[in-house]
Amino acid sequence: MGLVMRFDPEVINGYGFGADNVNNSINILRVDAGSASNLSGASFVFDVGRNYILEAGAIGPGALSLKIWAQGDPVPQDPQVTWFDNTYGVGVVGLFVINQIESFGGVAGPFSGNYDDVYFFPAGADIVAVCSLLTHGKAGEFCLELGDGAGDGVSGDN
């Protein structure tokens, strides 16, 4: 689960910022013509039933960053994953989900995701307070904040 930024859905190019509960990792990916390559990643163990906040950034010509933390935990001071790649400079923002083998009983292959209650809000907002307000503390929901230099954010539930 994660988000894409600077993404072109016509040719399937851009960047992905994802949380992988199967491999216990968080990753920054570059997608070229639908084929994803891992630019950088870090280990991260997910606890079932906890809400997580994912913050991704694509600033300037290619500074990419990713933070993730459990709702209610302190916000990490620095991103856990960073990378510089200036291949893609513009594009849309979106959410993605991948149904991997062993992912809560997943069987891989095609998957249909449902997102609702998606919000955009200015950067600089108290992300912890906003996410707590939006998810009402319900298990299984997530909150995402974007940092793409434009000052927008997104959150929602799955």
pLDDT of residue 150: 38
Q: Is pTM beyond 0.85 here?
A: no
Q: Are 124 and 36 in contact (CB under 8 A)?
A: no
Cα separations in angstroms, 51 against 36, 60, 138, 143: 26, 30, 8, 8
**pLDDT for residue 134:** 53
Provide the pLDDT for residue 139.
39
* Predicted local distance difference test score (pLDDT) of residue 46: 86
Residue 126: per-residue pLDDT: 60
The set of residues, in sequence order, having a beta carbon less than 8 Å from that of 77 and lying 6+ positions away, is: none
Residue ranges of the domains in the chain?
A: 2-157
Residues of the chain short of pLDDT 70, as ranges, are 98-158
Q: Say what the pLDDT of residue 142 is.
A: 45
